[in-house]
Structure 1
Amino acid sequence: MVERVRPLPYRMPLVDGESTGSYVTRLAARHGQSVSHLLATVGEGQSAAEVAARESELYFNRAARQRLVAMTGQPLAQLTRALVSLRDEHLLPDSPGVPAWKWPWRPHAGFLVRGCALCAARRGVLDPVWLIRPDPWYVCVRHGRFYDDSRDDRVPFIDLSPGPHVLQAERRRLRLVGSGPVGRLLVADAFGVLAHEAVSLPRLGGGRTTPLRLLPIVARVASRMASLERRRLECQLGPDEHQHWRDQVSKDLGWQLGTALDAWSQQHPPLRRERAERLQQRWQLLSAAPHKDVPEMASVDKLTCVPWEVLIRGPRPYG
């Protein structure tokens, strides 16, 4: 029989997007416990030696998750809304009646990114917070800060007040991503197109500030892709419109995008009307091939459909 879990006396504020390891580390510190002691109450586990919340993610199975719910006094719906890795798709396999956890050397998916200290403070959290994100960086638009997976405590973030255009681009990108899975895929495709060597731009992974340089361009390219994709899914594209669209985008944006845009548009051919009519709520559904799925923690270079041969030579966009 599994011992009943007693609720802890203090309820910890939740931070949206926080990693489970970061939350449990804060929870243990608040109650004067070591993380290992608290996890022993949750269930049986495996941990890499000296693993920390800033290095890897902590995973539970369903039974262990339920014990965490009982321990924290937080409803399951609230925990899974805030802590991505507690959602069903990220749970460890169930062992009959055995609560289990695992803290590996590396996250199973995603990246550990430093959380915005100002956002955390708004929730009453003053301890360091680490988020689990599909990409190794993000922009806090509320406070105009760029955060990434750097472990340099001397420069925990980059202030974006000197570059308001980056914040404008990030808001534009978020609107596109928020429109549904297709929007997120098109943002990834825009990064893939810009990785072509003919475009002469740095690739993601080439430097800490590279996303800041690329974001304004990505937002513009992805928006142009979205206008074409909407028409494609509504079966309104003529045989020559891809070429016209490509030429117009290349002319308007001023980069050598032609070859990469050709490769992208070939992956998104016009749909037959009977195929389009079978798609209900088309913009919310995935595009036709080659996009098959949009895993929650899939990074840009795992989502883009731009074939890697268009990169001619060299690494993937992330390097």
Structure 2
Amino acid sequence: MDGQVAGASWLFGPRRPLPVRVTPLRGESTGSFVNRLAHGQGLELEELLERVGFGQASRDPVRVRAYPSSTEMYVNERGLEYLAVLCGSTASALQEVLPSTAAAHLLQETETKAVWKWPWLPREGHLVPLCGTCAAACGVRETAWMISADRWRVCLEHLRFTDSDASGGEQGLSLKLLPETAEAHREREALNQRYGQVGQELFADAFQIAVHWWTHLPNTTRWVRRAWAVGLEAEAVPTAPLVLMPEVAAVAAWLAAFEHAGRRDGQARTRWMEELRSEMDGWGVDFSVGRLALMDWLQRHSTPVIPAPDTTGGPAAGTTLQARRPSAGMPGAGVPRQLRVSPGHAQAAQPTGVLGVASCLPWQLGQPACEM
């Protein structure tokens, strides 16, 4: 009889929350939250998973415990309902804070049982630790893994850099010795606010240009010094996003200035390249190598803009955007309040991350120089 009662209870799922409440963080991965939920009850992740639903997990406890830092947990609709009951919430409330529980990411298994899976890689985004200081402020005493569009996160409040490789440990690297990198991220936010989607695209192009430079010229003095300042290997791929950002932000401003000017003839492009060359000389970037990425970008942005009505409800390449004027001292300061982007920008983007999706330049961070 006891077995029958237990089976009936299992069939209908949990009816009461777990004894210790754990609150999900906005943007947290489902796997990270379930891991913290288990720890709140004094259980390891695999012990909680054994008690809830039917899923795919390794029989190796060590591997299972590493899942939240390497992949994401996905559930079907019934699994989401079970999880909501266990944490004393509702399915809709969880969907508001846990990105991977959104309707588009729910598993399609429609049977009455709860199902969960850990695919080899997250379906969307990257797993990046939350800044340790931010986590502590939320009462979280262990690593919380967030779903991030980029492979890294920058906490401007606490000046911390975290990435999917945990380069600086799960607490993050301090940016106090790299104030120019923190400022570059502020400039990125300002560009996005100023120009919306087009600002994101221009920053992505600038990042890809800088990646090309770094891949061919990783021993550039300023990048090596930044890496050493925070105890990283200068030529390690995860180091690049951290050390390149000041130049990325500067290049993004130059790209915006070119688009603002609206002149795409050979004379205008040559003058723009020469002006940027003097800046690159100051950075210590070999222009004979660095010009290749710039020429590729200019070629893709050589088509004159033909303003078109926006029927999608948002900005798109080839449209005109209202914008604030660039700040004084920034390339393009004093230009009109509209930003026009060449329709050629849409070519050859390779969607391997938010910056890859937004850029028209096809190479990617980590790709061998000979393939660029």
TM above 0.5, yes or no, is yes
1:30 CA drift (Å): 1.0
- Measured on the aligned residues, the alpha-carbon RMSD in Å equals 3.8
SS at match of 1:17: coil
TM-score by length of 2: 0.68
Alpha-carbon spacing, 1:192–1:296, altered in 2? closer, same or farther (3 Å): closer
Q: Which amino acid aligns with 1:60?
A: V
Give, in angstroms, the shift of residue 302 of structure 1: 5.2
CA–CA distance in structure 2, aligned partners of residues 186 and 3 of structure 1: 52
Q: Of the candidates 226, 235, 247, which is equivalent to residue 256 of structure 2?
A: 226
Mapped contact 2:348–2:362 kept (Cα < 8 A)? no
* Corresponding residue to 2:360 among 300, 305, 312: 305
The residue identity in structure 2 corresponding to 1:127 is E
Indicate if the aligned counterparts of 2:143 and 2:170 stay in contact, CA closer than 8 A. no
SS at match of 1:101: strand
Residue 272 of structure 2 is aligned to residue 245 of structure 1: yes
Partner AA of 1:15 in structure 2:
L
1:1-319 correspondence runs (5 A)? 3-8=12-17, 9-39=19-49, 42-48=52-58, 49=60, 50-51=63-64, 52=66, 53-76=68-91, 78-150=93-165, 156-177=171-192, 180-197=196-213, 200-201=217-218, 206-229=236-259, 231=260, 236-237=262-263, 239-240=265-266, 241-254=268-281, 255=285, 256=287, 257-273=290-306, 276-279=307-310, 284-286=315-317, 288=343, 291=346, 298-301=353-356, 303-308=358-363, 313-314=369-370
For the residue of structure 1 that corresponds to 2:142, the secondary structure is coil
The alignment of Structure 1 onto Structure 2 pairs a total of residues equal to 309
1:16-35 Cα deviation digits (max 9, x unpaired): 33221111000111123443
Cα deviation code 1:123-182 (max 9, x no counterpart): 111122122323332222111112223457878432211221111111112333455333
What's the CA shift for 1:221? Answer: 1.0
Deviates more, 1:157-166 or 1:254-263: 254-263
Residue by residue over 1:57-111, the C-alpha shift from the partner in whole angstroms, topping out at 9 and shown as x without a partner, is: 1112333223323332334454334322222343333435443211134333433
Q: Deviations over 1:277-301 (max 9, x none)?
A: 2236897335645548999982534
Could you tell me how far apart the structure 1 residues matched to 2:46 and 2:190 are?
Answer: 41
- Residues 206, 153 of structure 1: alpha-carbon distance in 2 compared, 3 angstrom cutoff: closer
d(CA) in 2 for partners of 1:149, 1:41: 29
Length-normalised TM-score, structure 1: 0.78
Relative to structure 1, is the Cα distance of residues 228 and 282 closer, same or farther in structure 2, using a 3 angstrom cutoff?
Answer: farther
* Alpha-carbon offset, residue 246 of structure 1: 3.7
Distance 2:200 2:111 in 1: 37
Structure 1 runs (4+) greater than 6 angstroms displaced: 152-155, 202-205, 292-297
SS in 2 for 1:277: coil
Higher helix share: 2
Does the 8 Å CA contact 1:113/1:147 hold for their aligned counterparts?
yes
Tell me, which stretches of 5 or more residues in structure 1 are unaligned?
none
